[in-house]
Chains A and B, each alone.
Chain A
Amino acid sequence: MNYLLELLSEIPDPEIPVINIVELGIVREAKMISDREAEIVITPTYSACPAMFNIEEDIIKLFKEKGITAKVITKISPIWTTDWITDEAREKLRVYGITPPEKGSHEDHLNIPKKCPRCGSENTRQISRFGSTLCKASYQCNDCLEPFDYFKCH
């Protein structure tokens, strides 16, 4: 991993602090354009994700500390997909209590049980298609009875 990506990996997602913006697939490109200037291309997750504003500020701030001026470019195409979340980050999500999104599926359907991140049971039910943030839906495990968040396929 190059130095810039390593640096960017220090920035956590503001809403899910266990994963960073590189493994979430938000950072698409990072390169030095001169000695003290870097160009970072980021792709928003959801059109209205409030975390994106913070992320841009976080990047500029962190690079400034290293003496680099960061130019952050937001590109929506190709559009972000949950498939870009790395396997490592998926596991981090699960340990944190959020069931990671299934790969290769962009449409989310009702009544497909999600694996409980705590006990691993698939005997779960959807409480709501929407959750505390745009990226999550609310579920409950019928075995251990704990409610949990599911990271929606997108």
Chain B
Amino acid sequence: MFFDHANHPAPDIQHPTITMNPLYNYILKLADDTLIFGQRLGELTGQGPYLEEDIALTNIALDYLGQSNNLYKYAAQIQGQGKTEDDLAFLRLEKEYLNCQLSELPNGDYANTVLKVYFFSLYQKILYMILTKSSDEQLAAIAEKSLKEVKYHYTHTSTWIKMFAGGTEESQTRLKTAVENLWEYTAGMFAETEGETDLGHLGIAPNAQDLYENWKFLVAEDFRNFGMEIPEIEFMQKGSRTGYHTEYFGFILCELQYMQRTYPNCVW
């Protein structure tokens, strides 16, 4: 690949511009979630437990990447600095990513992967249902588009959780371990970005606390149907959506940004 350095100087990532636009931050958090979740699930391509599920997980990963593409395009438009979806996805520093910590956790075993996608799908489902009514038209359109996809992910993963819960001793043990490992990261999905409360007042985004209560209620209801209970532990990991990440994030980001570093300015 020929690269013309004179006409395409490397982006100045040493001095990132801090954008204080609350809507930009908010869109970015949604975009980063789906990008990182998609990248993580994509690791399983060709490694899934059996062919159909390998394809299913890859399909879900692809949906996530498509959603993040739509969101990054909109974020770039809001930012108005001539950046593209590629700049936002691939050229930011670790601390500038606002994704929830749940999205960056390793895949673990199959129960762990499916449970993680289940938690996230239910969150996305209720979030996007509310966002379809957002006073921000573009956000409402992206939400409506994505909602169809995440509903499908939710049905798929909840079907699996039900099977694990009603399955063998082995599947139940693995599911229980997955719940124990992931639960403390769930509140982080609802952590707010800077200025998010203001968006609530403008009818752009839902109230994060209400969303969390709604989500917890629905998980408890599902779990009851599956013959399970949600954990009683109160402790929740902090730091989601502030740029503070788990120890796993640096590695996944390195891999994600590899292509862009190797072939600067290659496009999505």
User: Are B66's CB and A49's CB within 8 A?
Assistant: yes
Binary contact track B81-123/A, C-beta < 8 Å → 1, others 0: 0000000000000000000000000000000000000000000
User: Are B55's CB and A130's CB within 8 A?
Assistant: yes
With a 10 A CB-CB cut-off, give which of B55, B69, B145 has the most chain A CB atoms: B145
Interface residues of A in 119-140 (CB under 8 A from B): 127-132, 134, 138
A112 is an interface residue with CB less than 8 A from chain B:
no
B47 is an interface residue with CB less than 8 A from chain A:
no
Q: Per DSSP, are chain A's interface residues mostly helix, strand or loop, or mixed?
A: loop
B225 is an interface residue with CB less than 8 A from chain A:
no
User: Are A130's CB and B59's CB within 8 A?
Assistant: yes
Q: Which residues of B contact A48 (CB under 8 A)?
A: 62-67, 69
Number of A interface residues, CB 8 Å? 23
A63 is an interface residue with CB less than 8 A from chain B:
no
User: Are A47's CB and B144's CB within 8 A?
Assistant: no
Q: Which residues of B contact A107 (CB under 8 A)?
A: 151
Bound-state CA distance A110–B156 (Å) is: 9
Q: Which residues of B contact A154 (CB under 8 A)?
A: 148
Q: Which residues of B contact A1 (CB under 8 A)?
A: none
Bound-state CA distance A109–B151 (Å) is: 11
| A→B interface (CB under 8 Å) | 44, 46-49, 76-77, 79, 106-110, 127-132, 134, 138, 152, 154
| B→A interface (CB under 8 Å) | 52-53, 55-56, 59-60, 62-67, 69-70, 137, 140-142, 144-146, 148-149, 151-152, 155-156, 159
Q: List 3 A-B pairs, minimum CB-CB distance, nearest first.
A: A48-B66, A47-B66, A77-B141
